Amino acid sequence: MKILLTGGCGFIGSAVVRHLLRHTDHVVINVDKMTYAASEEALEEGLGHNRHMLIRACVTDAATMRQVFATHAPDAVMHLAAESHVDRSIDGPADFVQTNVVGTFTLLDAAREHWSGLPAARRAAFRFHHISTDEVFGSLGPGDSPFTEDTAYDPRSPYAATKAASDHLVRAWFHTYGLPTIVSNTANNYGPWQFPEKLIPLVTINALEGKKLPVYGDGSNCRDWLFVSDHAEALVRVLERGVPGGTYAISGRQPRTNLQVVRAICAELDRLQPDPAGPRERLIRFVTDRPGHDFRYEIDPTCSEAALDWTAPHDFDTGLAKTVAWYVANRAWWHEVRARRYAGERLGSPGHEGAAQGEAVQAGVAQAGMVQGGVAQGGAAPGQAETSDAAQGRAA
């Protein structure tokens, strides 16, 4: 199978690329604009692999998307490209509307044109898998039942609202045009290569540097967690086994409060690399809460687990230990990120301006072209960040 995968240099997207190359025979056409949160290094062996091609392009660029479909004739689409950080959506929602809504529309339109011209057998086998988030369902109270595939939408942040809009577009293209689409909604992802604006890498890196560990409010906000390689495996199963028009809610059954997560990171770092100054919990600081901070997300993945014959291999403690060890061993990568792209400053606070900083850092990244087993330079429209929650994961 030849898969057109968007946002494949983002956090989750790169994990999917690695999984596809290591565990399947599928060919990957990776479309990514390479904005602030993208990393070619996260592709690991993918950069030189003969079943992987990276095309630097923007999903909002309709002409380039049509060209990609015409040139590569994919059998399926995995759409992970998205702006994904809630705090950045508070500071700069326009980029989220452009990328998450307009970008999804543009890709759907190009996919429908391609699909309409396929022979009958290939039309029947074609899939468009849209990767989304549990944040579209809104906020749970302490005693509420977890989200399922049937939970009504109630997005509360600009990020969640744009992802909800994109989900609705995908389903509309199924019901109106017959395009065989599938939607999956996921919990918070964590693991190696996550951009350090998100909770787990931010806290891990700050703790390694002896800096303060910011926790929103009183730390009681709760998130459901999923190790990124487990999610990548599940996403490929959705693509291969999912029913057109279906929805799959994916989770590792690992709910934790933010404070529990931060304390677990401190404990793991103290075990791996003790700080002479004392236990790292001393660095925890409670800070003013995020505007409109959803209290709790949690997914009940029972239906998806049965349909996909899948459960998350990692529990939270095992996944977190692997994640913390990776950041300890890969200081060079995050030192470069801190120096050039994101220094760890707070985003999304009241009165904060200009925090969505991907565009300027990555200016000039786009021109068209293709390189087998390597990088293609593609035309890009402004305002696109091809790294998902879906390619990026979210901060809690």
Which residues participate in catalysis according to the annotation?
A: 134-135, 159
Task: Determine the Cα–Cα distance for residues 380 and 196; give it in Å rounded to an integer.
Answer: 25
Angle between the N-to-C axes of helices 228-241 and 11-23, in degrees from 0 to 180, rounded to the nearest 10: 60
249, 301 contact by CB (below 8 A): yes
6, 58 contact by CB (below 8 A): no
Task: Determine the Cα–Cα distance for residues 112 and 128; give it in Å rounded to an integer.
Answer: 9
CA dihedral 10, 11, 15, 20 (to 10 degrees): -20
Say which residue the tokens 């290094």 belong to.
41
204, 327 contact by CB (below 8 A): yes
Task: With CA atoms as reference, report the closest residue to 251 among 169, 171, 140, 334.
Answer: 140
Alpha-carbon distances of 95 from 63, 83, 133, 357, rounded to whole Å: 20, 7, 18, 11
Task: Determine the Cα–Cα distance for residues 355 and 351; give it in Å rounded to an integer.
Answer: 11
Whole-angstrom Cα Rg for the chain: 20
302, 251 contact by CB (below 8 A): no
Q: Which amino acid is at 91?
A: D
254, 224 contact by CB (below 8 A): yes
Task: Determine the Cα–Cα distance for residues 32 and 5; give it in Å rounded to an integer.
Answer: 9
